[in-house]
Amino acid sequence: AQKITQTQPGMFVQEKEAVTLDCTYDTSDQSYGLFWYKQPSSGEMIFLIYQGSYDEQNATEGRYSLNFQKARKSANLVISASQLGDSAMYFCAMRGVVTGGFKTIFGAGTRLFVKA
Amino acid sequence: EAGVAQSPRYKIIEKRQSVAFWCNPISGHATLYWYQQILGQGPKLLIQFQNNGVVDDSQLPKDRFSAERLKGVDSTLKIQPAKLEDSAVYLCASSLVPGGDEQYFGPGTRLTVT
């Protein structure tokens, strides 16, 4: 069975510092995708970054980078130079294969608080 | 490009009543998803459509939930009869292709069952 685990219910970071949000996953698929989404208090899910299981380089998108360690089955999100607007829920997700297509499962999320 | 549209944004009903949510995906997106997000949890996939066919509905409580995507465009999710535990945000998302790198989410419908 596929599973996503986010063990940090809440995290605090000082503005302008970097923060790492943890995500581990479990799957027997050889090909899969890993995602991070941000959900502000407004409720809308915002795509941040994607990493394919065969990608050798860690994905980066602006201030976001994904620290992908395949052997450890971890896909941590690193946010550099935190901003007050980064305060939100962050969800790790995995896309795996099901009969007839693909299926995405989400972790429970980590709430990030950025302090001024 | 217009985003994923959902309506209504908020709905309050009593238990045992019925309710329907509507979603219009981004134009051209073949895959449409309905998620249920209970407060404090991550989204849980209820049903996934590829055009107007169902790819996965393994977590849809079929005794009370139903969904359709006529003509492979917009979609309706219905709950009948509603239970207290159905109180949640119902998110609709779409992607260009089934294994697309990114799902685009709508603003969600917040359902409260009293």
Task: Please state the rounded mean pLDDT for residues B9-31.
Answer: 95
Closest approach of B15 to chain A, Cα-based (Å) = 24
pLDDT tens string A27-86 = 988 889 999 999 999 888 999 999 999 998 999 999 999 999 999 999 999 999 999 999
Q: Is B111 helix (H, G, I), strand (E, B) or coil?
A: strand
A90 CB neighbour count, 10 Å cutoff: 25
pLDDT, averaged across chain B: 92
C-alpha to C-alpha distances, B68 to A97, B34, B44, B78, nearest whole angstrom: 23, 11, 18, 9
Kindly indicate the confidence band of residue B98, based on its pLDDT and cuts at 50, 70 and 90.
Answer: low
Q: Rounded to an integer, what distance in angstroms lies between the CA atom of residue A65 and that of residue B108? A: 27
Q: Rounded to an integer, what distance in angstroms lies between the CA atom of residue A62 and that of residue A17? A: 15
- Within 8 A by CB and 6+ apart from A69, the residues are A75, A76
Asked if residue B101 has pLDDT above 80, the reply is no
Task: Please state the rounded mean pLDDT for residues B52-75.
Answer: 92
b/e per residue A16-53 (b: at least 16 CB within 10 A): eeebebbbbbebeeeebbbbbbbbeeebbbebbbbbeb
Asked if residue A5 has pLDDT above 80, the reply is yes
| Closest residue of chain A to B3, computed from CA coordinates | A44
| Closest residue of chain A to B48, computed from CA coordinates | A103
Q: Rounded to an integer, what distance in angstroms lies between the CA atom of residue A70 and that of residue B14? A: 47
pLDDT tens string A39-51 = 999 888 999 999 9
Amino acid at B102: E
Check B98 against A106: CB less than 8 A apart: no
pLDDT reported for residue A36: 97
